Copies of this chain bind each other. A is one copy, B any other.
Amino acid sequence: MNSILSSIKDPSLIEKRRNQIIRSAISLFEKKGFHRTTTREIAKEAGFSIGTLYEYIRTKEDILFLVCDSIYLQVRERLEAQIDPDNSSLAHFINVIRSYFYLMDDMQEEVIIMYQEVKSLKKESKDYVLQKEKDMVSMLERVIAKCFPHSLNSNERQLLANNIFIQGQMWGFRRWMLQKQFTLETYMDSQIQFLIQSIQAKSSSDKC
- A180 CB to closest chain B CB, in angstroms? 10
- State the copy count for this chain: 4
Q: Which of chain A's residues 147-198 have a Cβ closer than 8 Å to chain B?
A: 155-156, 158-160, 162-163, 166-167, 170, 174, 176-178, 181-182, 186-187, 190-191, 193-195, 197-198
Question: Interface extent on A, as a size class?
Answer: 35 or more
Are A162 and B133 touching (Cβ within 8 A)?
no
Alpha-carbon distance between A158 and B182 when the two chains are bound, in angstroms: 10
Which among A65-73, A74-82, A97-105, A114-122 touches the partner chain? A114-122
When distances are taken between beta carbons in the complex, the residues of chain B under 8 Å from A137 are: 177
A63 to chain B, nearest CB (A): 15
**What is the CB-to-nearest-CB distance from A157 to chain B, in angstroms, rounded to a whole number?**
11
Chain B residue with minimal CB distance to A40? B7
Q: Let me know if B191 and A202 touch, CB within 8 A.
A: no
Closest Cβ neighbor of A170 among chain B residues:
B166
A→B interface (CB under 8 Å): 33, 35-36, 112, 115-117, 119-120, 130, 133-134, 137, 155-156, 158-160, 162-163, 166-167, 170, 174, 176-178, 181-182, 186-187, 190-191, 193-195, 197-198, 200-202, 205
Q: Can you identify 25 A-B contacts, CB atoms within 8 angstroms? A: A33-B120, A35-B35, A115-B115, A116-B116, A116-B117, A155-B182, A159-B181, A159-B182, A159-B190, A159-B191, A159-B194, A160-B194, A162-B170, A162-B178, A163-B163, A163-B191, A163-B194, A166-B166, A166-B167, A193-B202, A197-B197, A197-B201, A197-B205, A198-B201, A200-B201
Given contacts A159-B181, A159-B191, 15 further A-B contacts (CB under 8 A): A115-B116, A116-B116, A130-B177, A155-B186, A159-B182, A159-B194, A162-B174, A163-B163, A163-B194, A166-B166, A166-B167, A166-B170, A194-B198, A198-B198, A200-B201
